[in-house]
Amino acid sequence: MHKKVKIGVIGLGYVGFPLAIKLSINFNVVGFDVNSKRVKELKNGLDTTDEVDSKEILKRFKNKLCISSDSKILKDVNIFIVTVPTPVKKNNSPDLDPLRKACITVSRYLKKEDIVVFESTVYPGLTEEFCGKILDKESKLIMNKDFFLGYSPERINPGDKIHSVDKITKVVSSNNKKSLKILKEIYSKLTSGQIFIAKNIKVAEAAKVIENSQRDINIAFINEIAKISQKLNISIYDVLEASNTKWNFLPFYPGLVGGHCIGVDPYYISFKAKKLGINPEVILSGRRTNDRMSNFIAKEIISRLKNRSNILILGLTFKENVPDTRNSKIFDLIRHFTDHGHSVSVCDPTLTKIKTDFNFYNRLEDVKKTRFDALVFAVNHKSFKDIYPKEISKYLNKNALIADILGIWRKRKHTFNYWSL
């Protein structure tokens, strides 16, 4: 089967590029992305997302993988896999523009018997009701007769090399038995994990969107308990340490929920729920709690500062060891601090070039001339592992505040004023 298959991956970001790399081990694969800069970097062996190393990239390019920012590369493709982002607009409603554009691009090269698979996170029904209709209209072909749809939700966890795309369980679905068989065989050659066949496309879509929504809600619950713990003058981390001794306790931890998945996906299922006349109270309550957590943390820190303090924040990305600042709540902290007259500097070793309104350092060694009144440990990058207390003390004034949001240093001996959730 795989000798006849030519796979086209549309979208070469966190999801699409690692997928294209692994698929190209067994299949003829082409990749398309509208971002010509991204394509050029990848061709030179540079993946700025740090998901694929240079050696593997160049090795695959020598074999069965070609990529381009020119959609003509999709000309002879018969299995299209769409992995474009599904963000939200300012009002938190689904922004389907990337999907719409991807569907229009695919429709130019769609032929009879082709299969179009979507991996992007969407609300249940969107693949067939939105994407399918666009493909139908633009290609002049008939869905479920001339071409067929599939949905296999991405489960990329940025920065996680253990649960990579070639090791996880893959959920696969299609609106056609023959297409489902083909997709099962393709994904079986991709991953050493299991293949789970969902009953239909809607089931697979729903499964994906609730995976991240569930995590968002669980974190929101712990964030709420963290606020209560602050008023009780106890540490949420001490509470969780005790609770974790029970065999069926689910360990989640407080913090700032950002990024392009957990903080976004709940809005997709909520949007669909409202269309169905259902008020998604729990889902949206969790979102509000997590969105407001940066405000709570900022207030706690500011209440412990003197006027016009000089603050150093460690970490800017939305999670540890990932060079991605999309929807990072650290920006909210910075805004709160500057609105109260404080001066902010940020150090993040995972980032190189970034446009900011504040002092930014890629390395702590570059922060030499300034002494800070407060240090906010916001993101637990591995390069920050051994900096406390000896390394960090050289950057702080006497009686400076250490605000350890993640509680990483809470069991250390402190010579500075220490605060944590």
**Token pair for residue 405?**
């949001």
Q: What per-residue confidence (pLDDT) applies to 220? A: 98
Single out the residue of 195, 227, 228, 371 nearest to residue 297, CA to CA.
Answer: 227
Q: CB–CB of 228/236 below 8 Å? A: no
What is the three-class DSSP state of 281? helix
**Token pair for residue 85?**
């982002």
Cis peptide before 389 (omega within 30 of 0): yes
Query: What's the whole-model pTM score?
Result: 0.93
* CA end-to-end distance (rounded Å), the chain: 55
* Domains parsed from the chain with CATH numbers: 6-202 (3.40.50.720), 293-420 (3.40.50.720)
> Is the dihedral angle over the CA atoms 186, 188, 193, 197 positive or is it negative?
positive
Q: What per-residue confidence (pLDDT) applies to 3? A: 55
**Cα–Cα distance measured from residue 249 to residue 247, given in angstroms and rounded to the nearest whole number:** 6
Active-site residues, by number, are 261
**Token pair for residue 232?**
């009780």
Tally of CB atoms within 10 A around 122: 27
**Residue 413 identity (one-letter amino acid):** K
Which residue positions in the chain have pLDDT lower than 50?
A: 2
**Cα–Cα distance measured from residue 361 to residue 34, given in angstroms and rounded to the nearest whole number:** 31
Q: CB–CB of 67/39 below 8 Å? A: yes
What is the three-class DSSP state of 349? coil
Single out the residue of 271, 273, 213 nearest to residue 88, CA to CA.
Answer: 271
Which residues, 6 or more positions from 293, have their beta carbon under 8 angstroms from its beta carbon?
223, 254, 255, 256, 257, 329
DSSP letter assigned to residue 72: G
**Token pair for residue 11?**
């979208």
- Give the ranges where 24-107 is alpha helix by DSSP (H): 36-43, 54-61, 97-107
Q: What per-residue confidence (pLDDT) applies to 11? A: 98
Place of tokens 């609770």: 243
